[in-house]
Structure 1
Amino acid sequence: MPLTRDFKETVQARVQRDPEFRQSLFQEGIECMLAGDVDTANSLLRTYINATMGFSELGKLTNKQPKSLMRMLGPQGNPNARNFFDIIGCIQRHEGIQLAVTLRGAAQAPTPSAD
């Protein structure tokens, strides 16, 4: 189902005025990618990019054609690891944040015995 223009404009307005929402949108995109939900990740990252720097600016920062970047994050897109991390690095610098990976629900390592 295509998004309506009103919805896109509402999201863009919120992204531009609410840094916490903007960063959460980016974070959720990364978490979806890590969970294997590439389609949702691409959609969220595309929304973030369109509402912030735009694909033209991202293209300049990554030395890639904007249309190529749009295809990578499009519905059929699947960027290779190098391109994906180039994009993520540029977004982090643009946003002034740094992502960190944490383990959730991992089994604890056994403690060494005192034999």
Structure 2
Amino acid sequence: MLHDYINATIGFEGLSRVFDKPSKSLMRMFGPKGNPQASNLFAVIQYLQEQEGIHLEVKARKVA
């Protein structure tokens, strides 16, 4: 889902310029079989949140 979001907003070329990483590497990293390091994942999410003016939040849910 993040792959599609990046495509629809900044694009991988734009993200490549921001993070100084090859666009192909970013595409693989956020592709269906990708496995980004937590530092890369959180950096990209933080950047996208700042650019889009949104705040993502994860909440735990109690299971009965």
Fold agreement, TM-score > 0.5: yes
Question: Shorter chain as normaliser: what TM range?
Answer: 0.7 to 0.9
Query: What is aligned with 1:23?
Result: none
* 1:58/1:90 contact within 8 Å kept: no
Identity of aligned residues (%): 52
In the TM superposition, what is the alpha-carbon distance from 1:106 to its structure 2 partner?
Answer: 6.2
Give the secondary-structure state (helix, strand or coil) at the position aligned to 1:102.
coil
Residues 1:94 and 2:51 aligned together:
yes
Runs of 5+ unmatched residues, structure 2: none
- 1:66 maps to amino acid: S
In the TM superposition, what is the alpha-carbon distance from 1:57 to its structure 2 partner?
Answer: 0.9
TM-score (norm 1): 0.50
Q: Give runs of ≥4 in structure 1 deviating > 4 Å.
A: none
The two structures, once aligned, show a CA RMSD in angstroms of: 1.7
Runs of 5+ unmatched residues, structure 1: 1-43, 108-115
TM-score (norm 2): 0.82
